[in-house]
Structure 1
Amino acid sequence: EHGKERTKTFTSKKEARYFRNQLDNDRADGVHVPDYLGKSSTFSQVANAWLVSRSLRPSSLDRDESYLRSLIRPRIGHLPIGEVTTGKVRDLSGELIRTQYRQGHTYAPATVNKAVAIVREVVDYAIDDGLLPAPAAIGKVKGAPKVTGSADRQELLDIPTVAQMAEMIDHADGNGVRFWGAHLAFLAGTGLRWGEFAGMMMDCVDLEAGVVRVRRQLARRGGGLELVDNLKTREARREVTLPGPVLERTREHIARFGVHEGRLFSTLAGARLDGSNFRPRVLKPAGAAARVPRVRIHDLRHHHASVLLETGTPIHHVARRLGHRDATVTLSVYAHVIDDLADDSAATAYAHAIGAHADSTADSPGLAEVVAFRR
């Protein structure tokens, strides 16, 4: 009653009445309304507390901190937490969609959606922690509409074909050294995640049976690399068979270059692999030589999954080999591949059906021409 008087402005009487009624309802329900709608705590301060409260793998925490540092804090970090409204989040999403982080490159839809999801979680944390009314007078932040469309498909446009993958391996081998090509062949032939590949130790490799067991991964912690046994999901702990050519190439690689500190693959100097070096020094030049200049390390995993699907491997087998939680994850990621296969199967089936019909109606030149064209 004797505290400092505070004011708030609104764009309309309707908004002001809603705000007043919401506060009155909260107080009547016994809800504490502290911090005058989060005016004394900035988004960045709440985000710091949110990060500390999370029980995640270090690599996941590093990823979220990276999103906050590079995408979110520079744009809304200074705002009082109570002013991070749905409208502000939509503005953030729109700005990220339009931003070119380098010449000709904008943020992918998945990146924008992840940034929005983090903002939403930070605001939810503020509500749960009593920094904002519950429910918040401004309305719970819903985030921006999910970014979808052609850009989602762009994420998978630079997957190497089998022929391009062979060109990449040949280029990486370079001058008969045949070193880096084995790394690319293993990644493409197993579909392992980069951390699983870089963290593969010889105690999990059975060259007689042609199987590797995924039990660890190389993760980035505090700016360094560390071998850890907590994988991305429970299903990530799996056995992966090596295709014949990959098995032979791996045996040859070990025979020629040996094993360093128990690692299946290392650098030429015998050090741990680091994706930030492998990408520009090995992957990008190989991709450029094979006409897939934008290829990413993860695209070799996409390549592997696409090859399996295109050769008729059941979706649940693909999911298990990739270490997905379930087949629905695989379906959502590779829906475009499955759609294309369905289109091709339908075209083939009807071509055969029409062809069979044409054989029995040889006196129909129009139909015969259609069949000949389809073939």
Structure 2
Amino acid sequence: MPYVEARGKSIRVKWWSGEYKLDPDGKPTKKKIYDSASGPEPGQKFQTEDEAYLYGLDREYEVRHGKGVRRASAATPMSEYIWMWFDAADIRPNSLKTYRSMLRATIGPYWGHRPVGDITPIEYDFWKRQIKEQYSENYAGALLTVFRMLMTDAVLKYKLRTESPIVEQKNRGRYKKKQTKRTKQELPVAAVHQLAANAYHVWGYTGWAYIWTLAFTGMRPPGEMVGLQRGFASPYWPGADPIPARRREAQKRYRGMHALRVQHQAYYVGGKPTLAGPKYDSDRTLVIPPFLHEIHAALLASHASPWVFPSMTGKHLLTTEFTQAYWRPIRDGAKERKSRPRYARYVRPELPPVPEMAGEDLYRLRHWHRELLDEPGADIATVAKEARMGHEVSGMEGVYSRVTIGMEMRIVEYLQGVWEKEVVAKGLWTPPFPMRLPEPLPGGAPPLVSGLPVLGEV
């Protein structure tokens, strides 16, 4: 039960916080920890002892029902809490970098002086409106997501608040039409072919293979594409898979077919190129049509890099200014480069722009792959399309459905048919296969990377 202390004009109530003091070894003792208050709100005073007593009863009710929050905990400054939360977060290094930036640049400066338990719904709504007016839709959405995570953990995990200040109410306030990204232009296969042709003149046969791989597998660029290793490409996989059980299962399942394994993505962490698992842990096997397998076989026979798509100089793509030196001339076209004594390797004809890709990034080709699978004549099951994109099907369909070998055979048949109809039958240009290396790889086995090493150490 709470007890009230009245001293002159001051009335104070104490109640058990639900916690016990700890001994030097960190174990709870029988000594209770009490909270106290001199008023119902900061800056206010209790007018009567009955008011103080009822206030204490309410706090003990919250403790008994698991809703109590110690006043000292609720008073934790946001400037401390956000970095304690950040240090305890179990997320990927790439996401940590993004979260750190948002906490340091936007959330911390605005909320840092406020106690965690004092943030009110009206304060949150005001801030939400401010950032939506100040920042782009994507960045504002990311900020709101991180702040929601902070408040949810403050309530459920760390017991710094009794409830979140984020109150979502549907159909309230001024109606605002949902903003969607501008409609993408239709992207015919001929336009993808022009990208691949431009890539060939910018980057050699590697560029030709890169564009068709992205367009016909839907892998996530740039991470999954630059993280694809030789041993996980179809000419070697599944025979080169380092996990025996997975290797045996894949050899049995994909006998007579071609497939590559999306096992890693590559990106920078702390200024160092690093290999990690795919986004959302979506490591997966992608069946590919025969034409793409032949392209990969020719490409890998022409270089000894452990990476399927090395840079123009044979290094890892993360070491390049990819957007400026590779993607923009591929997408936007470029003037002719004539022969000069020291720069013979950079000679190339004039490259035409691809109008359908104006202003687009590489992700447009991943989206195009999904559009291709959605065509009426494709006849491909939803679960197979989602799995290929590295997504999970929600609801009961995702629980009971699975990708069958028949579905994967249909994907191969359909994609090969698109190539033969839209490229081969129409007589579109294709480059000759590159020259093979004079000697096979040492030992006859492709190098593989495991774990999370720095790429420079491979």
Q: How many residues align?
A: 306
Measured at CA, do residues 314 and 40 of structure 1 come closer, stay the same or move farther in structure 2, by a change above 3 Å? closer
Measured at CA, do residues 70 and 269 of structure 1 come closer, stay the same or move farther in structure 2, by a change above 3 Å? farther
- Quote the offset at 1:211 in angstroms: 1.6
Task: State the match for 1:127 in structure 2.
Answer: 155
Task: State the match for 1:199 in structure 2.
Answer: 227
Query: Where does structure 1 lack aligned partners over 5 or more consecutive residues?
Result: 11-20, 101-105, 332-375
CA distance in 2, matches of 1:225, 1:251: 26
2:211 corresponds to which letter in structure 1? L
1:325 corresponds to which letter in structure 2? E
Task: Write 1 or 2 for the structure with the bigger share of helix.
Answer: 1
Aligned 1:255-294 pairs, distance under 5 A? 255-256=301-302, 258-260=303-305, 262-274=306-318, 277-288=321-332, 289-291=353-355, 292-294=357-359
Query: Which residue of 346, 366, 388 corresponds with 1:321?
Result: 388
Which SS does the other structure have where 1:218 is aligned?
Answer: strand
Q: Return 198-207 or 218-227, whichever deviates more.
A: 218-227
- Quote the offset at 1:74 in angstroms: 4.3
Measured at CA, do residues 270 and 176 of structure 1 come closer, stay the same or move farther in structure 2, by a change above 3 Å? closer
2:193 corresponds to which letter in structure 1? A
The reply to whether residue 41 of structure 1 matches residue 77 of structure 2 is: yes
Query: Which residue of 289, 303, 306 corresponds with 1:243?
Result: 289
Task: State the match for 2:258 in structure 1.
Answer: 210
- Quote the offset at 1:81 in angstroms: 2.4
Aligned 1:10-159 pairs, distance under 5 A? 25-30=58-63, 32-35=68-71, 38-42=74-78, 44-99=79-134, 106-108=136-138, 111-128=139-156, 132-133=160-161, 135-136=162-163, 140-142=165-167, 149-154=177-182, 157=184
CA distance in 1, matches of 2:322, 2:316: 11
CA distance in 1, matches of 2:190, 2:321: 25
Structure 2 contact 233–296 (Cα < 8 Å) conserved: no
Query: Where does structure 2 lack aligned partners over 5 or more consecutive residues?
Result: 1-11, 14-35, 45-53, 237-256, 333-352, 399-458
Measured at CA, do residues 28 and 237 of structure 1 come closer, stay the same or move farther in structure 2, by a change above 3 Å? closer
Which SS does the other structure have where 1:55 is aligned?
Answer: coil
- Quote the offset at 1:160 in angstroms: 4.4
Q: Cα deviations across residues 191-250 of structure 1 (Å, max 9, x unaligned)?
A: 11232221111111222853211222224322322123x33345x232212234433333
- Quote the offset at 1:5 in angstroms: 6.5
Structure 1 contact 90–143 (Cα < 8 Å) conserved: no
Measured at CA, do residues 91 and 250 of structure 1 come closer, stay the same or move farther in structure 2, by a change above 3 Å? farther
CA distance in 2, matches of 1:269, 1:144: 55
CA distance in 1, matches of 2:212, 2:89: 37
Task: State the match for 1:367 in structure 2.
Answer: none
Which SS does the other structure have where 1:125 is aligned?
Answer: helix
**Structure possessing the higher radius of gyration over alpha carbons:** 2
Q: Return 24-33 or 203-212, whichever deviates more.
A: 24-33
CA distance in 2, matches of 1:293, 1:23: 66
Q: Cα deviations across residues 49-86 of structure 1 (Å, max 9, x unaligned)?
A: 11222222323333333443445334434443234333
Measured at CA, do residues 83 and 277 of structure 1 come closer, stay the same or move farther in structure 2, by a change above 3 Å? farther
1:290 corresponds to which letter in structure 2? V
Structure 2 contact 82–108 (Cα < 8 Å) conserved: no
Q: TM-score, normalised by structure 2?
A: 0.56
CA distance in 2, matches of 1:259, 1:213: 19
1:41 corresponds to which letter in structure 2? P
1:73 corresponds to which letter in structure 2? G
Which SS does the other structure have where 1:87 is aligned?
Answer: helix
The reply to whether residue 190 of structure 1 matches residue 225 of structure 2 is: no
Q: Cα deviations across residues 234-289 of structure 1 (Å, max 9, x unaligned)?
A: 5x232212234433333333344x131x1111211222222983233322443332
- Quote the offset at 1:175 in angstroms: 6.2
Measured at CA, do residues 130 and 317 of structure 1 come closer, stay the same or move farther in structure 2, by a change above 3 Å? closer
Which SS does the other structure have where 2:358 is aligned?
Answer: coil
